[in-house]
Amino acid sequence: MSTTAQSVWTNCLNFIQDNIQPQAYKTWFEPIVAVKLSDNALSVQVPSKFFYEWLEEHYVKILKVALRKELGENAKLVYIIKMENTYGNKQPFTERIPSSNRSAVKSQDIDVPLNNKNPQLRNPFVIPGIRNVKIESQLNPNYNFENFLEGDSNRLARSAGLAVSAKPGGTSFNPLLIFGGVGLGKTHLAHAIGVDIKDKYPEKTVLYISAEKFTQQYIDSVKKNNRNDFIHFYQLIDVLVIDDVQFLSGKSGTQDVFFHIFNHLHQNGKQVILTSDKAPVDMQDIEQRLLSRFKWGLSAELQTPDFETRVSILKNKLYRDGVEMPDDIIEYVAKHIKSNIRELEGAIISLIAQSSFNKKEINIELAKQVVEKFVKNTKREVSIDYIQKIVSDYFQMDVDTLQSKTRKRHIVQARQLAMFFAKKLTKASLASIGSQIGKRDHATVLHACKTVDNLSATDKQFKKYVEDLTKKLSV
């Protein structure tokens, strides 16, 4: 069997993967493509000059060992650098560089001026015509770690955020994707990370932007024929925070430009922080190549806070606002408003306002009135616990039976229906749904949803189950 460039490189990768950290392998070796094998010289394609220099500086020894194991003592590695020309020319910039001779790189031949420091560079955040190249962070200093209280529901995400703010671009949490339902603190945490980085590293350029605004800026840049300025501007950022990244769904042009900006930032050791209302596995109409990059770092979920965390959040808010309130009132509000932190804080503000405007003492009676009105006037998000209870009652079984490991057909179907409605009516990820409904994995939930769809179309009795439960769960 003849030796090919791919087989040699695959063997090299197997050796390298066993000897370096998984994140480093993903970042620096998975993107490399074997191109050809000539005598003892293996040619590989790398995404950029920076990529090549990083490999030579940090991994030259392991590359030599791996290659010599395959091709002998006279083995050579030739790099082919391929960079997209962002100025509209579809031809790639390519230069061959022997690994033993770094001086062979001619930057003028292969470098696209990505880090253009020209003062005429258009900053999409300033008014046209005003000379101002300073990049304002767009961060809200009121969103910080001090008032983002830790609990079981957010511990992983908060800890990862602290690690990133201590060493932006220098942890394996790059990108850091924070996801969860409405009002659980995604935006707050994203801002807190940015604010902390600005405090610790004043020289770093940090920028917060919503995906919606990013999209609009991109559209404007295309209309005004300054797309390259738009790309170059974002390639100057040290820490890029993009809120509600799911908004890019279906927007292929914006996804394409973000893909190249992301690659440039990541390869240059810059930090990317993203928020989304769903996990990558649940995102629709996002290109696979982008989704794969979202998974390079850490995806951390913010879940609905438990009772103790809700009480702590309310006490912290009251303390910051200089308001005193009896513990029994705080606990009453925390017990009856569970869906998200935004509603929780909104209820306590309404309670203080009612007391102040009507000159009434804050007591349990007033709290009951306010909470009742607040819940009634707020679109309620159905919880997974509530869905399990309704489905269990409908099939005349208890929740423990629904969650059990039994394979009895009617129990399996009830469990699948609970998963189906949890996916349909909540913002929870597939993994979170599976975890809460009998400790299943996300693949089981996905299978359950497909099964319910199929049975609804072919089984009249099952279709009636779905219709009945839809009515019972309507809010």
Question: Is 187 assigned a ligand-binding role in the annotation?
Answer: yes
Give residues with Cβ within 8 angstroms of 193, minimum separation 6.
161, 164, 165, 176, 241, 273
pLDDT one-digit tens code per residue, 152-211:
778 888 899 999 999 998 888 888 999 987 778 889 999 999 999 999 998 888 999 999
Q: According to the model, what pLDDT value does residue 114 have? A: 32
C-alpha pair distances (Å), 218 with each of 115, 224, 450: 18, 10, 37
Helix (H) or strand (E) run with residue 43 in it: strand 41-46
For domain 307-377, give the CATH number: 1.10.8.60
Cβ count near 258 (within 10 Å)? 25
DSSP assignment of 258-284, as one string?
HHHHHHHHHHTT-EEEEEESS-GGG--
CA distance 377 to 343: 11
Cβ count near 20 (within 10 Å)? 14
- The answer to whether the CB of 308 falls within 8 A of the CB of 151 is yes
Domain 5-105: CATH superfamily is: DnaA, N-terminal domain (3.30.300.180)
Helix (H) or strand (E) run with residue 466 in it: helix 460-473
CA distance 106 to 157: 43
- In the chain, list all ranges with CATH 1.10.1750.10: 384-473
Mark 415-440 as b/e (b = at least 16 C-beta within 10 Å): bbbbbbbbbebbbbbbbbbbbbbbeb
The fold of the 155-302 domain, in CATH, is: Rossmann fold (3.40.50)
pLDDT one-digit tens code per residue, 367-399:
777 777 766 555 555 788 889 999 999 999 999
- CATH 3.30.1180.20 at 384-473, yes or no: no
Helix (H) or strand (E) run with residue 45 in it: strand 41-46
Tokens of residue 325, six digits? 């309130």
CA distance 35 to 16: 18
Question: Is 186 assigned a ligand-binding role in the annotation?
Answer: yes
Strands (E), 217-309: 239-243, 271-276, 298-302
Task: List own/partner pairs for 102-111 with CB under 8 A and 24 or more apart.
Answer: 102/53, 102/56, 105/49, 105/52, 107/49, 110/49, 110/81, 110/83, 111/49, 111/83
CA distance 345 to 339: 11
CA distance 286 to 190: 21
Tokens of residue 187, six digits? 């935006």
- In the chain, list all ranges with CATH 3.30.300.180: 5-105
Instruction: Give the chain's length.
Output: 475
Phi, psi (5° rounding) for residue 167? -145, 70
Cβ count near 148 (within 10 Å)? 20
> Which residue stretches of the chain have pLDDT < 50?
1, 83-121, 127-133
CA distance 310 to 73: 64
pTM value > 0.75: no
- In the chain, list all ranges with CATH 1.10.8.60: 307-377
